[in-house]
Amino acid sequence: MNGRPPPVTRFAPSPNGPLHLGHALSAIVAHDLAQAGGGRFLLRIEDIDGPRSRPDLADEFRRDLEWLGLEWEEVPAQSTRLATYAAAAEALKECGLLYPCTCTRKEIEAAGASEGTDGLIYPGTCKRTGPDPARPAAWRLDTEKALAEVGPLTWEDDLAGTIPVDLGGLGDVVLVRKDLPASYHLAVTLDDAADGVTLVTRGADLFAPSHVHRTLQALFGLPVPRWHHHALLTDDSGQKLAKRRGSPALAERRQAGEDGRMLAEQLRLRHLRLGT
């Protein structure tokens, strides 16, 4: 034991497409860390991804997790929490920490946006010139103002250690989408706090967004969890596994009669070899 209270971890899939091996690994890591520390493992369906969200997939996800031999507690899906997100966004707007942006992706590209750690860095067009009042607006975090408000911050990752918050690679991220009262960043930060998550586990591909989430925790005065960004699975050639390259969905493997618990054991071994 390391003297820490039992961790609360979670697996938070978006029902936009079937789960793959990478998802299975994330779920297993979260599950096993909770179990090893005598804590709790939560499942949260992140179903606010607009038209791409397919609620029918959530049931498939539950079957996949069961097939892998995992047990979990399910907490409310994001679609039940839209009012909470809207209220939190309002509070930030009242503090002048958000600004409306009507840019399209094309306009952002055309404005010469540079590539950051998680996509293009917004070049600040609407902050300088104001949004186009005739078009629907998203709301972006004014990161300069936000950081001035909360001062220097750090966050703790189990593997990477103490990380100073640096929003330079992300820029003024969207917190309220044009079509939804939240973006991933806002929803996931509020949900992890509401669900009492103390150890945020997810793949290293979601490392950079944690800078934003830590900033939001400071702005809202939320409890600060630890993070555990696990290394991503790679194929034999060392390439990141991606569904595009034909890794079969868990549901397909399950329906083909493969042994899910055995697969989970194999993933645990691969994970050990990745060192994280």
Judged by beta carbon, residue 55 or residue 136, the one nearer ligand GLU is 55
> What is the rounded radius of gyration, in angstroms, for the C-alpha atoms of the chain?
19
Contact pick of 34, 57, 97, 126 for Zn ion (by CB under 5 A)? 126
Applying CB under 5 A, the span of 45-53, 100-108, 172-180, 226-234 interacting with Zn ion comes to 100-108
Residue 224 binds ligand GLU (CB under 6 A): no
Site map for ligand GLU, 172-211, x if CB under 6 A? ----------------x-------------x---x-----
Q: CA 275, CA 23: separation in Å to the nearest integer?
A: 18
Q: With residue 40 as reference, give the H or E element that holds it.
A: strand 40-43
Contact pick of 8, 12, 27, 199 for ligand GLU (by CB under 6 A)? 12
Contact pick of 9, 14, 143, 215 for ligand GLU (by CB under 6 A)? 14
Judged by beta carbon, residue 142 or residue 191, the one nearer ligand GLU is 191
SS3 letters for 108-119?
A: HHHCCCCEEECE
Query: Tokens in use for 248?
Result: 């079969």
| CA count, 13 A, side-chain hemisphere, 186 | 29
Q: Name every residue whose Cβ is closer than 8 Å to that of residue 98 and which is 6 or more positions away in sequence.
A: 89, 92, 139, 140, 141, 142, 175, 176
Judged by beta carbon, residue 7 or residue 131, the one nearer ligand GLU is 7
Judged by beta carbon, residue 29 or residue 126, the one nearer ligand GLU is 29
Residue 60 binds ligand GLU (CB under 6 A): no
Judged by beta carbon, residue 14 or residue 183, the one nearer ligand GLU is 14
Partner whose footprint covers residue 101, from ligand GLU, Zn ion, none (CB < 5 to 8 Å by kind): Zn ion
Q: Name every residue whose Cβ is closer than 8 Å to that of residue 273 and which is 6 or more positions away in sequence.
A: none
Residue 19 binds ligand GLU (CB under 6 A): no
What letter represents residue 261's amino acid? R
Q: CA 212, CA 170: separation in Å to the nearest integer?
A: 8
Q: How far is the CB of 126 from Zn ion (least distance, A)?
A: 3
| CA count, 13 A, side-chain hemisphere, 36 | 12
- Do 240 and 232 meet the contact criterion of CB atoms below 8 Å apart? yes
Judged by beta carbon, residue 118 or residue 142, the one nearer ligand GLU is 118
Binding site for ligand GLU (CB under 6 A): 12-14, 46, 188, 202, 206
